[in-house]
A and B are shown apart, each in its own frame.
Chain A
Amino acid sequence: MSNQFQPQRRQFLKQVSGTAGLTLGVAMLPASRVVGASDVVGEALSPNLFVTLEPNGDVNITCHRSEMGQQIRTAVAQIIADELEADWQRVTVLQAKGDPAYGDQNTDGSRSVRRNMERLRQAGATAALMLRRAAAEGWQVSADECVCDNHKVIHSASGRSVDYSELVAVAAGLPVPDSDQVSLKPRNQWRYIGKAIASVDLTSVVSGNAVYGQDVQLDGMLVAVIQRPPVLYTRPKSIDDKAARKIPGVVDIIEMPGASAPALFAPLGGVAVVAKNTWSALQGVQALKITWSTNEHSTYHSESEKQRLIDTAQQAGETVRQRGDAQAVLAASEHTHSATYYAPLLAQAPMEPPAATAWVEDNRVQIWACTQTPQATRKFVSEALGLSPEVVEVNVTLLGGGFGRKSKPDFSVEAALLSKQTGTPVKVVWRREDDIQNGYYHTVSAQYLQAALDSDGTTVAWRHNTVFPSISSTFSPDAVSPSSGELDLGFIDNPFSIDNMLLEKGQAKPHVRIGWLRSVANVYHAFAIQSFADELAHKAKQDSKAYLLKLIGPARMIDLTEDGAEYGNYGDPIDKYPIDTGRLRNVIERVCKLANWDQRGQQGRYLGLAAHRSFLTYVATVVEVTVNDSGEWRIPNVYMSIDAGTVVNEGNVKAQCEGGAIYGLSCAIGELSAAKGAITQSNFHNYQVARMQHSPANIEVDIVDSVAPPGGVGEPPTPPFTPALANALFAATGKRIRELPIPLTIR
């Protein structure tokens, strides 16, 4: 606080106590302790769930979304602190517990900013208005004459200003204004929104002090490791735990309740070893001898299932979108092209395997978990224990990555069941093997595409059939067909301007639990569509970029209802977030300029291009590859252009583009297979993910400066990566990649 401010402060206090009434005076002068002092002294200003100003003026901002690396804790603070005109150095971010009072807390679908930005701005602006009104009362001026500016309220007409700390108690006594009285700052006055502000968790991470779900420690806590069934919904037939019980530190061996369809978010069952520490539990579980029952999933073999999926894709499917008569044009055309695309099961494999700690007492349950979904955790834990949700408190730790895996609260339910049974706090530690072999998987998919070209090489008919076991099977045992929610992800919203288009889906039965993975169905749909577009360009002997732009056609807003298709648009209104091919074209133009696309031939560079709209955001990616004489490829450069509408943190959008591209690389080179119903891979030696030496040496990101409503950021950078890579490898080698994983050596 500057010396200059002191006289103003005294003047302000005098004014407040002298003119604005006793109660306010008391509030401003805690030492006097007069009427109702205990109620108002030291009172914080807390006009809503998201903002509290402590009596000393420090600001606590509550983040109700889970932090898994997307820096939402920083973004939420930027949004609120901006409207509050808070000094960033005086802001602390708190993490909300699971509570429906916050509204939706399920941190997935790239929607934290787009669904919350306005209400968080409102939350900050409400507190700011109350501070202005408090100052205005003190100064006996109109609040309209006062402005908030970096933790002060200023009355410029009289040259007076006061720090928020002096206003907290007064403001806390004012009624919370209705939202229609609250005005938001114009964009040109944004102080934090849009800026590349460093993560609020940076120091705790680089010092090793950040606390994740695996790190939770409670007094008297036991650690459990669970051997879950290798095949979905099978149960232990026999359990020999004699050796396990002899391991020092092992406290108990507990058979978990078995699971049956639908999987929902229930634990899978199996046998838990509860021990005094993690090492004892790990050894104990290794020493268990379990024989398992068999069921209809025990014959699941991913290789034979792959052929079944491909056969289905190549047959006629069920129409979900139709324009013109693609079948007739295809049948009559002299120039047709077809291709089958296949992508295997994947695991999200966040660096931190799932972990949850539970402490179940008589009528109180506490959970600490790295969860994307604290409210669902509360619901499923309370249901499993037969308690009401109100007695379940869910504390959200930092997440060591989520990528969709931690949007299922099964691991918290396991901890709660074990804590109830043992009467002590229990932490359930998932091993990497559990994460890979007992997950909620990114589904396996087969897609068949056909196109007819006219004599100029223009695509005049397009047919696309997509076949995959659906996420909806996790919730409904009868679901054997892709859900509309998944078709909405980059399939039914195909942006191409082709007169004859037929989009179909086919049936596929699941044999594992299917779940969400970063960008979900967009990953395999973008792979097939953007690769096939490149195939057509090649067939037509035209430049890939020019051909893609021709397929997309003129800038326009696509109305899918014209083609008889229903479209969810990521849960947001189509008029607010249209399918705008102008924006898609723009990111393509921009990324090609960044990559120097037109000069690639002269420069001897091999580039691949792909573009995709997902989560209401447009991303175009160019991947550059080099391939040596032995067929080993490397990625020296990646270029990306993203139009995510209004962005809150430029630095983190860039980081999400980099990370999303590398996650896309993992999706391109990774594979899970299954034999006799069980996942074959178990850890990072046989489940391949991108390492430093595979990853792009350089990623250049262009962010479109936009005033459009915010779109998603965490997921959209991933889908275009794989097709851009595959198209680049085609340019370099002439080998078309239609099946994932892409081998690290192409011969």
Chain B
Amino acid sequence: MKITINGQTEEYQGDPQMPLLWYLRDELHMTGTKYGCGMALCGACTVHVDGQPVRSCRLPMAGVDGKSVTTIEGLSSHNDHPLQVAWAQHNVPQCGYCQSGQIMQAAALLEKNQAPTDSDIDSAMAGNICRCGTYPRIRAAIKSAARGDAK
């Protein structure tokens, strides 16, 4: 099967049931997408498939055949996506482990909704856990990126 990862076409011949997460991490050595739960419960593995946020830990390779995948490594060319800039401005990360998934989830939210309310943010981000407790800063950074403050 053929998959486009961050704009580059990749051939895959292996187990079609292997989740995308392990293809990214173990085969492409793109470790920005994280393992946190393996059950689509924590959001650390969030990537975009054809622009939609998905949990790569539960998405089999068969499900991405012919599709286009964007990971944190491909979100922007110079780490300058408005959310990455906002994340830096608000000093969001503590340990940082969940933040790739948080940023990818938030990026998908902003694609659909350029002015999210608190409750929009709550529902979009409800599946992304941060054990360091950076939620208030994530919320502030999303709003800041939405306003166009993060440049």
B101 CB to closest chain A CB (Å) equals 9
Contact: B96 with A398, CB < 8 Å? yes
Contact: B36 with A352, CB < 8 Å? yes
Contact: B100 with A208, CB < 8 Å? yes
- Chain A residues close to B by CB (< 8 Å): 67-71, 196, 198-199, 201-212, 214-215, 217, 223, 248, 277-279, 282, 349-353, 398-403, 429, 431-432, 651, 655, 658-663, 665-666, 683-685, 689-693, 695-699
A423 CB to closest chain B CB (Å) equals 20
* Interface footprint category on B: 35 or more
Instruction: Tell yes or no: B118 within 8 A of A by CB.
Output: yes
B92 CB to closest chain A CB (Å) equals 8
A7 CB to closest chain B CB (Å) equals 38
B114 CB to closest chain A CB (Å) equals 20
Residues of B within 8 A of A277 (CB): 22, 26-27
Q: Which residue of B lies closest to A352 (CB)?
A: B97
Contact: A663 with B131, CB < 8 Å? yes
Instruction: Tell yes or no: B42 within 8 A of A by CB.
Output: yes
Contact: A684 with B37, CB < 8 Å? yes
Cα(A654)–Cα(B124), bound, Å: 26
Contact: A207 with B72, CB < 8 Å? yes
With A352-B97, A659-B94, A693-B122 as known contacts, state yes or no: A202 contacts B136, CB within 8 Å.
no
Contact: B129 with A689, CB < 8 Å? yes
B12 CB to closest chain A CB (Å) equals 13
Cα(A663)–Cα(B29), bound, Å: 32
Q: Which residue of A lies closest to B61 (CB)?
A: A279
With A214-B35, A351-B129 as known contacts, state yes or no: A279 contacts B134, CB within 8 Å.
no
- CB<8 Å pairs between A and B, sample of 20: A201-B93, A202-B91, A205-B93, A205-B99, A207-B32, A207-B72, A207-B79, A209-B32, A214-B31, A351-B132, A429-B35, A432-B42, A658-B134, A663-B132, A683-B37, A684-B42, A689-B131, A690-B135, A691-B129, A692-B125
With A206-B84, A277-B26 as known contacts, state yes or no: A692 contacts B132, CB within 8 Å.
no
Residues of B within 8 A of A399 (CB): 95
Cα(A203)–Cα(B132), bound, Å: 18
Contact: A658 with B131, CB < 8 Å? no
Instruction: Tell yes or no: B98 within 8 A of A by CB.
Output: yes
Picked from A68, A278, A398, the residue with its CB within 8 Å of the CB of B25 is A278
Determine chain A's interface SS by DSSP, over half rule. loop
With A403-B131, A697-B136 as known contacts, state yes or no: A691 contacts B126, CB within 8 Å.
yes
Contact: B95 with A398, CB < 8 Å? yes
Contact: A692 with B95, CB < 8 Å? no
Determine chain B's interface SS by DSSP, over half rule. loop
Instruction: Tell yes or no: B88 within 8 A of A by CB.
Output: yes
Residues of B within 8 A of A350 (CB): 95, 97, 131
Contact: A401 with B97, CB < 8 Å? yes
Contact: B72 with A208, CB < 8 Å? yes
Contact: A432 with B103, CB < 8 Å? no
Residues of A within 8 A of B121 (CB): 692
A21 CB to closest chain B CB (Å) equals 48
Contact: B34 with A400, CB < 8 Å? yes
Q: Which residue of A lies closest to B22 (CB)?
A: A279
Q: Which residue of A lies closest to B83 (CB)?
A: A206
> How would residues 135 to 146 of chain B score, 1 for a CB under 8 Å from any chain A CB and 0 otherwise?
111110000000
Contact: B95 with A401, CB < 8 Å? yes
B5 CB to closest chain A CB (Å) equals 13
With A208-B33, A351-B98 as known contacts, state yes or no: A660 contacts B133, CB within 8 Å.
yes
Cα(A522)–Cα(B98), bound, Å: 27
Instruction: Tell yes or no: B130 within 8 A of A by CB.
Output: yes
Cα(A399)–Cα(B37), bound, Å: 16
B122 CB to closest chain A CB (Å) equals 4
Residues of B within 8 A of A684 (CB): 37, 39, 41-42, 129
Contact: B42 with A71, CB < 8 Å? no
Q: Which residue of A lies closest to B74 (CB)?
A: A208
Contact: A351 with B103, CB < 8 Å? no
With A350-B131, A659-B134, A695-B133 as known contacts, state yes or no: A69 contacts B95, CB within 8 Å.
yes
Contact: A203 with B131, CB < 8 Å? no
Picked from A214, A666, A696, the residue with its CB within 8 Å of the CB of B136 is A696
Contact: A69 with B96, CB < 8 Å? yes
B37 CB to closest chain A CB (Å) equals 4
Picked from A198, A212, A282, A692, the residue with its CB within 8 Å of the CB of B128 is A692
Cα(A68)–Cα(B87), bound, Å: 18
Instruction: Tell yes or no: B53 within 8 A of A by CB.
Output: no
Residues of A within 8 A of B73 (CB): 207-209
State the 9 A-B residue pairs at the shortest beta-carbon distance, nearest first: A208-B32, A662-B133, A400-B97, A69-B95, A69-B94, A208-B72, A205-B96, A659-B133, A215-B31
> How would residues 16 to 59 of chain B score, 1 for a CB under 8 Å from any chain A CB and 0 otherwise?
00110010011101111111111101101000000000000000
Contact: A432 with B95, CB < 8 Å? no
Instruction: Tell yes or no: B111 within 8 A of A by CB.
Output: no
Interface residues of B in 69-115 (CB under 8 A from A): 71-73, 79, 84, 87-88, 91, 93-100, 103
Picked from A202, A204, A665, A692, the residue with its CB within 8 Å of the CB of B126 is A692
Residues of B within 8 A of A212 (CB): 34, 97
Cα(A651)–Cα(B19), bound, Å: 39
A598 CB to closest chain B CB (Å) equals 26
Give 5 A-B pairs besides A206-B84, A208-B31, A279-B22 with Cβ atoms closer than 8 angstroms.
Answer: A278-B22, A350-B95, A402-B95, A658-B137, A692-B125
Q: Which residue of A lies closest to B79 (CB)?
A: A207
